[in-house]
Structure formats: C-alpha cells, structure tokens
Amino acid sequence: MNQLEQLKQLTTVVADTGDFQSIQAYTPRDATTNPSLILKAVQKAEYQPLLEQAVRARPDASTGDIIDHLLIAFGVEILKIIPGRVSTEVDARLSFDTEGTVAKGRALIALYEQAGIARERVLIKIAATWEGIRAAEILERDGIRCNMTLLFSLGQAIACAEAGAQLISPFVGRIYDWYKKSTGIDYAGAEDPGVQSVKRIYNYYRKFGYKTEVMGASFRNTSQILELAGCDLLTISPDLLQKLADTDAPFVVRKLGSDTASGAGMVKMTLDEKAFRFMLNEDQMATEKLAEGIRAFCADSGKLKQMIAALR
C-alpha cells in the first residue's frame, strides 16, 4: 500500500480543498473548506458556473448573502462525493461577535437543511477566539456541530473542549512557520513545534476524557502528517495527498492513540475569560497567528465580494 492508504488505516483522512476533482481522486471521508479555498476554486473555469448561479439567483441579495449561498452550493456538491461531513466557515469578521456567529451558524445550517442536507453532515467552522468558543457552546446545544479553527495553543483547545465543541483544527504548518521564522531552524519530524502542539493537545484530551475530536490541519510537508498518524483526523491539501499516494515507504507507524497517550505532568485547567485571554496573550506565536489568520480570511472574503460585484 502507498502511504495514503496506510494512513487511512490509522486516521480519518480529510481533504482540505474546495476542488471536487481532488476530493474524488483521494476518496477522503470528510472535507474542509474556508474562504481562501473557495476563492481559489471559483477562479477556475469549471467552478465559475457555481458563482454565476449564486449571483443570478439573488439579484437583490447582499454580497454576504450570496457568499453564504455560494458556500452552501460548494458544500452540497462536496457531500455528493464524500460519505462524511463538510466544514463550512462563518465570516471571519464575526470572530469577536458571539451573537453574530450564532446567528450565522444557524443561518448556514438552515440553508443546508433547505437543500436536503442533515445537520449531522455539516461542521460550522468558527475561529477559536473567546467569543467564537462561546458561540460554539450555544450552537452545540442546538445540535449544530462546530469545527474550531485558527487554533494554535493548548489554552484554546482546552476552552473549546470545555465548551463541548465537536472538533478542533490545530494549525500545524502555521505554528511551524512562526517558529522557523523566529529561530531560523528548519524543524523536522518529532521536533516540529506544530507537531508537538497537536500531540500535547491530543494527550491532554485523552488524559482528562474530553470527547472533542482533534483534526491536525495546515500541513507544510508529509513528515508533519506522518508524525501525527493515529490522530483522530488529519485534513490534508491535494498536493500533499498526492505525495502520500505516490510514496510507498517508509511504512506509516501509529504515533498517536488512546492506548499510548501520555499525559504525564499535565494538570487539568478550567479557563474563565480572564484566564483564557491572559494565557493566549502570553503565547506570542498563538496571538500573532490567530490575528493574522483572521485578517487573511477577511481579505479573501473581500476578494470574493469583489468578484460578485463584478458579475452584478
């Protein structure tokens, strides 16, 4: 078996793309999208009709509403291909707006249900800010499952688990980027700070019995992926899925698992708002990457709005 096939025996593989052809090629169980991936997809000729249809069908709608319908259109098509769940992201401008995020999450689920999609097949992606985590807590009580994104620290992961979030997406590659730039070291294997962060979160969840799923995300190379074999889920871009599919060796070895999780020295923490904000503030990397990620998603949403305006 190639490495992708081996990995699928240990971990749920998720496709990190809005490209239907890539999803069909690698047969993942789930798929994740975000504003950047949707923007990338609609710039391709084969996906232009989805954008044009979203605009034509709602001549009097706001650009924000059209983007919501576009996201749902992509999600519905993806769910025709995969057996599992699709992640759809709320507007990053709502990252510090609990009420706005709750309203948007409910609206997106309502659109999916109008399209005949059960809410169990959808994860609403929300930035792991304090306000976003509180929104997820409310949505989860409504039976709306949440994927907490832009997650860079143990403190964020703990708060998400305590809020009952379905899933978190710690960003391996962006953590690696920050430390590489900061130290000049090109980390590899188990020494990679992004890999270490996910392992720490995974072990913490297992030690204290949290049910929130851990899905490693934002990979830069296959070494990072293979170091997290056994994690609940891993969401992987098409280029890295292809590299795994093209490689037979070395054999993929389980690195994470409930029976091998080590929580030695870990103390359970309960974070109120003040403790959460202070813990995040003390982590320079997480603070910078969270802010940077929100800005980037806002910028790409803005570019989508420009494309929509040009078609009206």
- Check whether the bond before 250 is cis (ω within 30° of 0): yes
The three-class DSSP label of residue 86 is strand
Residue 264 has what pLDDT? 77
Q: Which residue in 70, 5, 10, 57 sits closest to 227, CA to CA?
A: 10
Q: Which DSSP state fits 217?
A: B
Count structural domains, the chain.
1
Q: Is 125 a catalytic residue?
A: yes
259: CATH? 3.20.20.70
Q: Does position 185 have pLDDT exceeding 80, yes or no?
A: yes
Catalytic residue among 125, 199, 255, 289: 125
What global pTM score does this model have? Answer: 0.96
Q: Could you list the residue range(s) of the whole structural domain that residue 78 is in?
A: 3-311
CA 77 to CA 261: how far, in whole Å? Answer: 37
Q: pLDDT band at 179, cuts 50/70/90?
A: very high
107-139 pLDDT, tens per residue? 999 999 999 999 999 999 999 999 999 999 999
What is the distance between the alpha carbons of residues 14 and 209, in angstroms, rounded to a whole number? 24
What would the mean pLDDT of 143-163 be, rounded to a whole number? 98
Neighbours of 259 (CB within 10 A): 7
